[in-house]
Every structure is written in structure tokens, then in C-alpha cells.
Amino acid sequence: MSEPIGFIGLGNMGGGMAASLARAGFRVLGHDVDRAALARAEAAGVTPVTDIRSLGAEAGILLAMLPNSPEVEDCFLGPDGILGDLAAGSLVIECSTIAPATTDRLAAACAEAGLDFMDAPVARSPIEAAIGKLLFMVGADDAVLARARPLIDAMGDTVLHCGSVGAGIRTKLVANLLSQATGQLSAEALALGLKLGLDRETLLGVLTGGLARNGYLADYWRAKVLAGDTEPGFAIALSAKDLHLAVAMAEAAGAAVPTATAARDAVTAAAETDGARDVSALLNVALRAAGMAELDGDGTGGKA
């Protein structure tokens, strides 16, 4: 595939995705408002582009991994949006976790402009993004997915075709409703066990050895908060955003999700004080709420 690939949003996830494309031999033009993110991407083989309008004019395929719906709307559909800079027949791949209504509006605008479009949000962490092992949830026609497949395969090892346009983001929000609510409940459960004076490693062995097992307790937390690392791979503020989007989608569909609603409220409260920390730091928030010390720099602590 010789046409240049444009990539908008080179943060913790997008930076790794763009680097995976460059490593696979694609010519990647990357844009981000954060100069440090641009510099990291350049070191990984991405050509930095500071003028987003020129990116739209040069790239035949454009991917976006942005924080939220307003950024996507501004990027593509706003007064300075780049949708009009793309040549007819170009492909837009939207990977951000956003409101389904935003995906639908962008898809309709692309169709009107003669552009191919697919929504392809991802699962897993920045670690998998950096090594090309993401899971993609795709909403697209078969022909569009076939066109995008070489890029998707360079960034991920699992591709699930969820249905037509819009099915990808809706699937992602259903998954995030469960995963982010699980993170909050896991934090509360582990904090309760520590409050009761239970040995942490023994408790983790029990929680990860039966039906309570989940990726936070079994894998992700050991690399993050339990090791004393709360630098954001995926921030608490983004977890709160995803839960808001998922619960809003459920409410619009007339589906009751009381447990997820409670988790949304708890994670939103945590984001007010700790929003810039990694989502694993929900454990530290739960420890404080239990009247205990946060885990310190080497992952110890958690004492009353």
C-alpha cells in the first residue's frame, strides 16, 4: 500500500498504533497538538506534521485516535475540520471511544463526501498498542474492511467484524461498561480485604483463582498500581468518560444498568481528585476511602 497514511492523535494508544504502522513499512504522517507526542512518534518512524490541514490533503487513508467526541467533531466536522481536504475515495478509520451519535454523524458526512468510513475502536492497553497486539472492533462494509485490513493487521492480532458502520463503537461501549465497572468494583474489593488485614498476595491469589478473576487483578494492576506506578496508560478521567458514554447509550436504548450507573458515579468522583492518574489508581482512591494509606512508590503500603 503506497499511499501515505495520516494518523491524528499520538498519545498513549495512538502513538503505539502509528509506530506499529511505521514498523510494518507504511509511510505514516502523524499529527498531535502535543509536541512531545510528535517527538516520540518521530523517533518511532512517523513523519511529524504540525499543520493538520496539510495532513488531510496528503493522506489517502486517515486514522484518528482522539480523547472524546468533541475533539473528533472539531477535527473532522468543525469550522477548521479536515474532512473537506480529503480526496474523494479516501478512507477514514475512526478508532476513538466516542458517542455513537458522533460516529453516525461522521459516517454520514463521509458518505456525502464520497469517502469510505469505518469505525474501529480498540481494546487492550498501550503495551499492546506499542507491539501491534490490539483487538479491533470494526463497524464497516466488507469491502471497506478488506481495504483497511493490511493496516489493522499491522496494529492488532484480533479483528472482530461487529457489523455495519456504527456497530464497532457500540460494541466497544458495551465492553467498556463491563470492564470499567469491573475496575471500580475490583478496587473496592481489594481495599476491603486490606482493610480487614488480609495478606495481599494471598487475597490476590483467591480473587484471581476463581470466578472473580479479571484482567485488572490478574495482570494489569501488577504492572501498574501494585508496582507503585500510577503514571497514566489509561487515565481515570478517560474511564469516567467511557462509563458516561456507555450508561448514556444504555439509557437511550431503555436498558437498565444500575450497577454500571453506580460505578460511573464512583469513577466520576475519583476523577475529580485523581483524574490524571492511571485507572489502576482507583485502588488508591478506594484505600483512602477506607481510611488507609495509598500504595507507595514500590507498591507497598495500604495500611490503616
Active site residue 241: no
Three-state secondary structure of 46-60: CEECCCHHHHHHHCC
Instruction: Collapse the DSSP code of 95 into the 3-class scheme (helix H, G, I; strand E, B; otherwise coil) and give the result.
Output: coil
Rounded Cα gap, residues 164 and 118, in angstroms: 8
Evaluate whether 39 touches 97 at the Cβ level (below 8 Å).
no
- Angle CA 248–251–254, to nearest 5: 155
Rounded Cα gap, residues 46 and 155, in angstroms: 14
Q: How many helices (H) and strands (E) in the chain?
A: 14, 9
- Pairing, β 61-64 against β 116-119: unpaired
Evaluate whether 230 touches 196 at the Cβ level (below 8 Å).
no
88: number of Cβ within 10 Å: 8
Please report which helix (H) or strand (E) contains residue 116, including its range. Answer: strand 116-119
Rounded Cα gap, residues 46 and 48, in angstroms: 6
The catalytically annotated residue of 133, 172, 195, 224 is 172
Active site residues: 172
